[in-house]
Amino acid sequence: MFHGISHVDLQAVNLKQTCQFWTDVIGFSIKSQGEGFVEIDSGNVAIRLIEVPAIEQTATIRITVADVTKTYQQLLKAGAISRYEPMKTPDLEKIACVTDINGHSIILWRALSEDEWDFVPELPKTGEWYPDAEELVVNLLSHVPAFFRMLARRKVTRVVEELAKQDQSAVTREHVIKGYITSSAKVTRSRLIEPLKAEGINPDDYQADFDYE
């Protein structure tokens, strides 16, 4: 039975220099070492550097980083060679690629935040919406931090459509405003005041919704 990947082997002509690259430049630590090899702790899968007279086979390593562009520049300054510059992909990620002194490819990767997407995601709606209501909810949701926006989009849309269903109506701006407020936990509703004001809505007119349990 397979139990997972324990480590990845990378051939290295100059073991000391390669080890310094993975530790001093990339920031990983040495897990163990012995005659002709150094094992690097990457945080999950270990990287085993194996000293060889000549590189017979290169590999590709994908590393998650916080800042693709900054890390890419740092690796170039450390002697890595660019394969392609930082770019966005259709898979909603940002990537760049360099090769190290042994010819191994290192892909730098991170997922794009929703603020970096080139489109606004569709609402997960099931009912009928008036255009101005849909425009309003999109604008209000833009004030939610990108990390939480997908979850907020689902919850707000569901609550708004429940309110419209109770009224046996298509979704209106009023349903959006009330649903936007009541879908948020009561203790955090004060954060909604400024977004509402930014959309020309007076929060005082919806005090009952702010007080709703």
Task: Judge whether 1 lies within some domain.
Answer: no
* Domain presence at residue 119: no
Q: Is 101 helix (H, G, I), strand (E, B) or coil?
A: coil
Confidence band, pLDDT 50/70/90 cuts, at residue 95:
very high
Same domain, residue pair 18 and 79: yes
Residue 177 lies in a domain: yes
Looking at the fold, whether 67 and 13 belong to one and the same domain comes out as yes
Residue 3 lies in a domain: no
Q: Does one domain contain both 144 and 108?
A: no
Q: Both 43 and 97 in a single domain? A: yes
Q: If we measure between CA atoms, which residue out of 88, 173, 186, 112 comes closest to residue 139?
A: 173
pLDDT tens per residue, range 154-201: 999 999 999 999 999 999 999 999 999 999 999 999 999 999 999 999
Q: Report if residue 124 sits inside a domain.
A: no
Same domain, 55 and 141: no
Residue 109 identity (one-letter amino acid): W
**Per-residue pLDDT for 52 more than 90?**
yes
Domain total in the chain: 2
Q: Is residue 200 part of a domain?
A: yes
**95 lies in the same domain as 154:** no
**Do 103 and 191 belong together in one domain?**
no
If asked whether residues 56 and 103 sit together in one domain, one would say yes
- Tens-place pLDDT, residues 123-143: 999 999 999 999 999 999 999
Based on the domain organization, do 108 and 135 belong to the same domain? no
- Is the overall model pTM greater than 0.85, yes or no? no
Determine what percent of the chain is predicted with pLDDT higher than 70: 100
pLDDT greater than 90 at residue 44: no
Domain boundary among 63, 84, 112: 112
Q: Are residues 100 and 192 in the same domain?
A: no
Enumerate the H helices of 84-167 as residue ranges.
Answer: 131-141, 146-166
Tell me what pLDDT residue 195 has: 96
Judge whether 16 lies within some domain: yes
Which percentage of the chain shows pLDDT scores above 90? 89
The CATH number of whichever domain residue 27 belongs to comes to 3.10.180.10
105-111/93-99 β-pairing: antiparallel
Q: What's the chain's average pLDDT?
A: 94
Q: Of 112, 141, 176, which one is at a domain's C-terminal end?
A: 112
Instruction: Please tell me whether residues 108 and 172 are part of one structural domain.
Output: no
Residue range of the domain that includes 33: 8-112
Please indicate, yes or no, if residue 207 is contained in any of the structural domains: yes
Q: What is the pLDDT of residue 198?
A: 95
Phi-psi region of 103 (alpha: psi -120 to 50; beta: other; left: phi over 0): left
pLDDT at res. 2: 79
CA distance 156 to 162: 10
Residue 48 sits in the same domain as residue 106: yes
Instruction: Note whether 171 and 164 are within 8 A (CB).
Output: yes
Closest CA to 10 of 98, 107, 108, 103: 103
